[in-house]
Chains A and B, each alone.
Chain A
Amino acid sequence: MIAALLRRDLAQFFPFTGSGAALPVVFFVAVAMLFPFAVGPDANLMTRTGGGVVWIAALLAAILPLEKLVARDIELGFFDQLRLRGLAEEAMMAVRLLAHWLSFGPPLVLATFPAAALLKIEGETFEILLLGLIAGTPGLAAIGLIIAALTASLRAGAALSGLLLIPLALPILIFGAGALARQDQVSLGFVGAISLALVALAPFAAGAAIRAAREN
């Protein structure tokens, strides 16, 4: 049942197969493209600030799919039907977390190659940026899932989820972008640790949220 569910979730959210799911990646690359035009052709400035811009673009790209992530399937009665077949909400949310991350994490990491070229990020800085995104995107996905589940039954859920994600994502952003400024690997360890904790927590928090959403 888990395998069938993962296949279905991936088909729903994966770029180019799901409904408009390529949008986060397009958005991500668009920000990287526009930034040099906005600040002017100063290579030094771009090299210094470009990594931070990539992180912000990644954060914003992670917000885009949230609206459809949970609310749609609650309305569809999809989770109810799975529940009747004996699947726990936590398991549904763990699968959803994996599908959500796969749908924007790896594509974003791939899109970092052209983005870094546009922003003149090279050498060790590029490595740290790439590693940071690999370590940080699961955490962003987990925060996104929790927020999407919590706001699913609210009418203004979509607008609210963007606002809620930003403060929660700050630790990942601070350590992820901080690693770039100081060129150190220790901060990356922190990003990974925060991500792991969030990934472990998310299925339980999101599962409880969709159970609670049934009661009203």
Chain B
Amino acid sequence: MQAPPPALSAHDLACRRGERLLFRRLSFTLAAGAACHVTGANGAGKTTLIRALAGLTTPHAGTVTREGALALLDERSGLDPELPLARALAFWFGIDGMSDGEAIMARLRLASLAEVPVRYLSTGQKKRAALARVLGQQAPIWLLDEPLSGLDTASQGLVSELVREHCAAGGIALIASHQPLDVPGMTSFAIEDYAPADADETA
């Protein structure tokens, strides 16, 4: 049985943080193979949008519909700090049924760090480790929140490469970042375009 093609769409979405309305009337549809770059200044609501799309928070208004499993990369790696990297990742690989974790670790240049406890990793290394977790999940929809922050130039190129491969294989990627990515055919929108005109406006 073939799984239906992945899809992710938001309809008339509005999100608040605390009492403040961050954005409203945000609608988009991403079909299989689509990549979308969300830009915006710090605090504009990129992370809030991603968490609402992931279903972790309830949006203030509007709906999110999705078809297919979802992988989330944010500033929190989900990896146990005390464990050596290979074992911390093995937990998620085990849950996700990923048998070839070593290939993923090699791809993200983590093989030499396998025995290092996660808390000793640098910011960039942690980010690569979290990317390894995302790859291992084999989910058709990727939500990447600031995937480039803390990474060196070579690793930033690798992220673009991974997103290109993921979308070429029919996956969906939504990337919130204030840095540019090199992904052909990627659409983009600025979250500020959906910010309320005045602070008192409600959705």
Count of A-B residue pairs with CB < 8 Å: 50
Q: How many residues of A contact B (CB 8 A)?
A: 18
Q: Tell me if B77 and A84 are in contact (CB < 8 A).
A: no
What is the bound-complex CA distance between A211 and B34, given in angstroms? 30
A214 B57 Cβ-Cβ under 8 A: yes
B5 within 8 A of A: no
Q: Which listed segment binds B: A51-59, A74-82, A131-139, A154-162?
A: A74-82
* B69: A residues at CB distance < 8 A: 84-85
Q: In the complex, what residues of A have CB within 8 A of residue B55's CB?
A: 83-84
Interface class of chain A by DSSP: helix
Partner of B57, one of A4, A81, A215: A215
Could you tell me the distance in whole angstroms from the C-beta of B147 to the nearest C-beta in chain A?
A: 14
Which one of A1, A75, A84, A215 lies within 8 Å of B54 (CB-CB)?
Answer: A84
Q: How many residues of chain B are within 8 Å of chain A by beta carbon?
A: 26
| CA gap between A36 and B76 in the complex, in Å | 48
State which of B18, B51, B72, B82 has its C-beta within 8 Å of the C-beta of A81.
B72
Provided the pairs A80-B72, A84-B71 are in contact, do residues A4 and B94 lie with their beta carbons within 8 angstroms? yes
> A4 contacts which chain B residues (CB < 8 A)?
91, 94-95
Contacts of A81 in B (CB 8 A): 72, 78, 92, 133
B89 to chain A, nearest CB (A): 12
Task: List the 6 shortest-distance A-B pairs measured between CB atoms, nearest first.
Answer: A77-B76, A81-B78, A77-B78, A78-B78, A4-B94, A1-B95
Considering the complex, give the chain A residue whose CB is closest to the CB of B97: A1
Please give the distance in Å from A97's CB to the nearest CB on chain B: 19
For B58, B91, B95, which residue has the most chain A Cβ atoms within 10 angstroms? Answer: B95
In chain A, positions 70-118 with a C-beta closer than 8 Å to chain B are 75-78, 80-81, 83-85
